Amino acid sequence: MKSYNIAVIKGDGIGPEIVDEAIKVLDRVGEVFDIDFSYKEYLMGGCAYDETGDPLPNETVEGALNSDAVLFGSIGGYKWDHLHRDLKPETGLLRFRTALGVFANLRPVKVYHELTGASHLKEEIVDGVDLMVVRELTGGIYFGKPREKREDMAYNTMVYTKEEIRRIAKIAFEIAQKRRKKVCSVDKANVLEVSQLWRETAEEVAKEYPEVELTHMYVDNASMQLILDPKQFDVILTGNIFGDILSDEASMISGSIGLLPSASIGGKIGVYEPIHGSAPDIAGQGIANPIATISSAAMLLKYSLNELDASLAIDRAIAKTLHDGYRTADMAKYGAKKVCSTSEMGDIIAKNIEK
């Protein structure tokens, strides 16, 4: 029996509820595929600040680095909005990503046929969408220095090194090799020197992957094309701030943010989390959609543990559950035969796990 140690960070708001369902599904995967998962919980976010005065205790970083992967829920909420920037839950998450060295954020967007009506776009536009946004996570304007805020002005600096661009580009091309072999690199090379370097470096990396087609697109056009014709995209490669915006835009194509997972990889340990927030307004009500977190667990199996069959089993179980008409409240209007609680949805997906 193979054995893996998973660091679990449930976080704030609905985080504990949705992570519990992902663990339930992983445990079922373990039974079917003869895998032993051991879990150890750590604090991060508002709950960590409340207990320790720090949104990211050292114990959490050490525990994560000594695990095989991190399963993470969500952090933050209006309760902690008043805190100084250094103490906010979101700052803890940025510090966490930096400490683990994860520089590539993977956000897949796949539209289930049964839920095409949930999208705000026409069904014929979204049916069949299957794309991956590869966002650089630890560089760019969010981290660049100098930065300063004064009473009458403020400034930030966008910085990328060639090596930072090269390593994220290689991940995008490697992912594209296993998909439809297309990479669209998104930048603003017509006005930004940083983007000019980005484009030049992407073209250099492309020479190492001759079977993968590389195209370029300005970020303003990319934002339009995602709405006009999202099926044209396979893998989107882009920097931190552009990726932040485009991945959120792409997430709305599916119709429910509760469906979409993410992975942060590239360092020693990968971090797997839903793209949605902590939703404190519905926390504790048992109505949160756990599918994004369960899908994140599938990505954990694929990208950190190389358990490809087990990962596909989760994907198939989710697809079957939706095909059979089970929905949480956020999807209730779209072909629901039964509206499920958070826990019920986890139960059904776990039951559908099979080789």
Residues identified as active-site? 142, 188, 220, 244, 248
3-class SS of residue 329: helix
**19 vs 73: CA distance, rounded Å:** 6
Are the CB atoms for 9 and 72 separated by under 8 Å?
Answer: yes
CA 344, 349, 352, 355 torsion-angle sign: negative
Print burial letters for 327-344: b (CB count within 10 Å at least 16), e (below 16). Answer: bbbbbeebbbeebbbbeb
What is 6-48 written as a DSSP string? EEEEEESTTHHHHHHHHHHHHHHHHHHHTEEEEEEE---SHHH
**167 vs 164: CA distance, rounded Å:** 6
User: Parallel, antiparallel, or unpaired: how do β-strands 148-149 and 35-41 relate?
Assistant: unpaired
Are the CB atoms for 264 and 102 separated by under 8 Å?
Answer: yes
Are the CB atoms for 45 and 61 separated by under 8 Å?
Answer: no
**8 vs 271: CA distance, rounded Å:** 10
294, two tokens: 């369960």
**18 vs 8: CA distance, rounded Å:** 12
Are the CB atoms for 322 and 114 separated by under 8 Å?
Answer: yes
Task: Give, in order, the Cα–Cα distances in Å from 44 to each of 9, 41, 87, 103, 345.
Answer: 7, 10, 11, 19, 26
β-pair partners for 348:
none
**267 vs 285: CA distance, rounded Å:** 36
What is 265-311 written as a DSSP string? ESSSS-EEEESS---TTTTTSS----HHHHHHHHHHHHHTS--HHHH
